[in-house]
Amino acid sequence: MPESSQRHPDDARAVGESGRRTALLASAAAPASGKGSRRAFRLAVLGAAAAILLIALLGVTTGEFALSVPDALRTLAGGAADADQRLVVFGFRLPRIVLAALVGLSLGAAGAAVQSLTRNGLADPGILGINAGAGLAVVLFMLALRDIVRLEGLAAVMTMPLYGTVGGLAAGGLIFALARSRGSLDPQKLLLVGIAVTSGFGAATLYLSLKMNPQDFERAAVWLSGSLNSANWLYVLAVLPWVLLLLPALWAKSRMLDLMRLSDESLSGLGVALKRERRTLLLLSAGLVAAGVAVSGSIGFVGLIAPHMAARLAGLSHRRLLPLSALLGAALVMAGDYVGRTAFSPSELPAGIVISIIGAPYFVWLLIRQKTAR
């Protein structure tokens, strides 16, 4: 019999295993058809960018000190002679708008990554305790550590995201450890454990905030509600490096995020260093969340809503999903802050509360839809 017609059983198994790996890789990495086309993605990006620009323009012109669109554009271009206009635009409104955009970019992208990591479309950095862990660490820093290490001004603001990252990683690591079942991650258990850990960290944060003096307590209470009222260029400077470093790093892991939809057994069979990759993705996600939480407080549901909207518009490939989710997150936080600032003027409603009013019913709707789909 010719040698080419003979095949050793091990060779056959190797070929079969190779074919299985190829099929798994293709199924995980392939973007959704139809809505995931390049044209749909480009239109969605243009729409999100247009929404961001429109909200930014409204944010600059609307408020107790109203500005016309020509005056606002002239001031932004540096042509305004009125010192009050320059102060209102560059001292108060513009840093708040930029900070809201950066926070939204961080939370939107991190939410998409967390949903892939947990294989759970209902996952959100806030629900999984990363927000709560970062918040607890920042409150601890505000209460005690800031005076111990004697940080003030720019140094204190720039250091807060570091403490937030440590707290977010601690919460995320604890949740992942408790949610493992028989050596693999249980998505449903992960959600329940995340809610429990979030409640525990939230109680600890409240307890620590009650130990503060009245001035620091008021500041912490406003911050914990997800307010951007204290936004300034120092806060923008604090979060900007994190966004510029971590967003591209997370996008570079797009293919790995696609593969994370597969089971742990399939990933191990494909030769993926699962623990290392999961730690890396968790670190990047927690860093983005912590950077946002450190300067804006806990703003929930952005990481839930933005990825779902992005997936409907551009499909499931993370090369498209991550940037679109980030842009939609920016638009959502900017819109929430704008509504909270203007709808109840002269009083203000924190952006976190405004977004929660939308996010809570949306979360319930997703739960009902998921149950109906089964």
Phi, psi (degrees; rounded to nearest 5) at 32: -65, 145
In a domain, 23, yes or no: no
- Per-residue pLDDT, 163: 79
Supply the CATH number for residue 220's domain: 1.10.3470.10
Q: What is the pLDDT of residue 21?
A: 53
Tokens of 357: 């009013």
3-state secondary structure of 254: helix
- Asked if residue 133 is part of any domain, the answer here is yes
How does residue 194 score in pLDDT terms, banded at 50, 70 and 90?
confident
**Pick the residue with more confidence: 281 or 1?**
281
Tens-place pLDDT, residues 276-301:
888 889 889 888 988 888 888 889 89
| Domain carrying residue 333 | 35-373
The answer as to whether 195 is a domain residue is yes
What's the pLDDT at 28?
52
Give the model's pLDDT for residue 1.
45
Whether 13 is covered by a domain: the verdict is: no
User: What percentage of the chain has pLDDT greater than the value 70?
Assistant: 84
Average pLDDT, the chain: 82
pLDDT at 168: 82
Report the percentage of the chain scoring pLDDT > 90: 31
Domain assignment present for residue 6? The answer is no
DSSP bridge pairs for 185: 180
* pLDDT, mean of residues 190-203: 86
| 208 has a pLDDT exceeding 60 | yes
Give the pLDDT of residue 26. Answer: 45
pLDDT (0 to 100) of residue 153:
60
Q: Does the pLDDT of residue 27 top 70, yes or no?
A: no
Instruction: Tell me the average pLDDT across 185-202.
Output: 82
**Is pLDDT at 332 greater than 90 in this prediction?**
yes
- What is this structure's pTM? 0.84
Q: 266-269 — which CB contacts under 8 Å span 24+ positions? A: 266/24, 269/17, 269/20, 269/21, 269/24
- Residue 8 resides in a domain: no
Question: Considering the domain boundaries, does residue 7 fall inside one?
Answer: no
Domain count, the chain: 1
Q: Is residue 244 pLDDT above 80, yes or no?
A: yes
For residues 126-155, one letter each, b for 16 or more C-beta atoms within 10 angstroms of the residue's C-beta and e for the rest, the string is bbbbbbbbbbbbbbbbbbeebeeeebeeee
Q: What is the pLDDT of residue 249?
A: 97
Confidence of residue 75 (pLDDT cuts 50, 70, 90): confident
Closest CA to 352 of 231, 226, 229: 226
